[in-house]
């Protein structure tokens, strides 16, 4: 398994370090070469999104401890993919693909299920798309996600090392495709052959529902192509980011966003 290459503490340190380093680097680069040039108060925008992210740590930290305990316990109860007796590297690749497929399905469920959309819409109500949007989620969405992930990953036979390795690979991709960096169209086309590119994900944050309900991939663009949810427009000059009414300035306050899913 992955621990034959990296120890769990090494993977955890690399995952956290990469998340922070990539986020800071992308935020700096956005200031020099933005795709959307309308954002004026970058600091205030980042403060709001990072406040939501900080609250989510109250869910993620204990759930991470529980996840590690349950996955370690389940190794002796159910082998999952380990029953295939694959080489460790191939086993890790297969598990990472399964985890990324779940992330695609979970994201799509958040758009297609009204109850889940109430929480996920907090993410989409951000009218200014940049790297800090990748950390902006309602705590209840995180909690529901974590409660579903534990039994699912136990069933897969994943170890905590596989989750950390997936996070190490996936998180910079999510930060990148949320970022407000202008890159050459040819480079974006090349990137989207493998990962969801910034142009793909900008369309996903459109106010138009038909455009918003597309491009659900987290780490790989494969799933959108395979399940018919891939959409692309080369010209996004008329793209409007956010949600009608929900992106109004008076609703883009921390407590308003936390309360929004529980209101009619």
pLDDT tens digit sequence for 110-121:
999 999 999 999
Residue 101 tokens read as: 């497929």
φ, ψ of residue 258 in degrees (nearest 5):
-70, -35
pLDDT score for 82: 86
**Geometric angle at alpha carbon 123, from 211 and 120, rounded to 5°:** 85
User: What are the extents of the domains in the chain?
Assistant: 2-183+245-262
Do 25 and 178 contact (CB within 8 A), yes or no? no
pLDDT in tens, 251-263: 999 999 999 999 8
Do 19 and 12 contact (CB within 8 A), yes or no? no
Give the global pTM. Answer: 0.92
pLDDT score for 6: 56
SS3 34: strand
pLDDT in tens, 10-39: 778 888 889 999 999 999 999 999 999 866
Residue 178 tokens read as: 């949320």
Residue 99 tokens read as: 């985890």
49-60 mean pLDDT: 96
Question: Looking at the chain, how many residues does it have?
Answer: 264
Do 95 and 157 contact (CB within 8 A), yes or no? yes
Distances (CA, A) of 147 to 32, 65, 97: 40, 13, 20
Share of the chain above pLDDT 90, in %: 83
| DSSP string over 178-219 | HS-B---HHHHHHHTTTS--HHHHHHHTBSSHHHHSS---SS
* CA dist., res. 39 & res. 41, Å (int): 6
Mean pLDDT across the chain: 93
The answer to whether residue 204 scores a pLDDT higher than 90 is: yes
* CA dist., res. 215 & res. 69, Å (int): 33
Residue 223 tokens read as: 């799933």
174-196 mean pLDDT: 96
The answer to whether residue 86 scores a pLDDT higher than 80 is: yes
Q: Roughly how many angstroms between the first and final C-alpha of the chain, as a whole number?
A: 48
Q: What is the 3-state secondary structure (H, E, C) of 50-85?
A: HHHHHHHHHHHHHHHHHHHHHHHHHCCCCCHHHHHC
């Amino acid at each position: 398994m992955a621990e034959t290459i990296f120890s769990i503490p090494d993977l955890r340190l690399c995952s956290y370090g990469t998340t922070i380093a990539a986020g800071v680097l992308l935020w700096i680069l956005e200031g020099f070469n933005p795709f959307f040039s309308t954002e004026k108060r970058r600091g205030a925008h980042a403060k709001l999104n990072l406040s939501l992210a900080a609250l989510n740590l109250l869910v993620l930290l204990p759930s991470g401890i529980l996840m590690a305990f349950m996955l370690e316990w389940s190794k002796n109860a159910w082998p999952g993919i380990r029953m295939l007796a694959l080489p460790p590297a191939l086993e890790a690749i297969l598990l990472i693909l399964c985890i990324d497929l779940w992330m695609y399905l979970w994201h799509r469920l958040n758009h297609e299920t009204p109850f889940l959309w109430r929480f996920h819409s907090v993410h989409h109500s951000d009218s200014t798309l940049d790297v800090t949007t990748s950390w902006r989620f309602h705590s209840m969405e995180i909690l529901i996600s974590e409660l579903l992930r534990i039994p699912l990953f136990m069933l897969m036979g994943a170890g905590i090392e596989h989750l950390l390795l997936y996070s190490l690979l996936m998180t910079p991709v999510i930060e990148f495709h949320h970022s407000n960096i202008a890159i050459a169209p040819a480079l974006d086309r090349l990137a989207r052959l493998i990962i969801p590119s910034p142009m793909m994900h900008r369309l996903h944050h459109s106010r138009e529902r038909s455009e918003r309900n597309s491009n659900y991939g987290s780490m790989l663009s494969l799933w959108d192509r395979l399940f018919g949810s891939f959409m692309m427009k080369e010209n996004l000059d008329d793209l409007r980011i956010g949600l009608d009414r929900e992106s109004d300035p008076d609703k883009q306050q921390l407590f308003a966003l936390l309360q929004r899913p529980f209101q009619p």
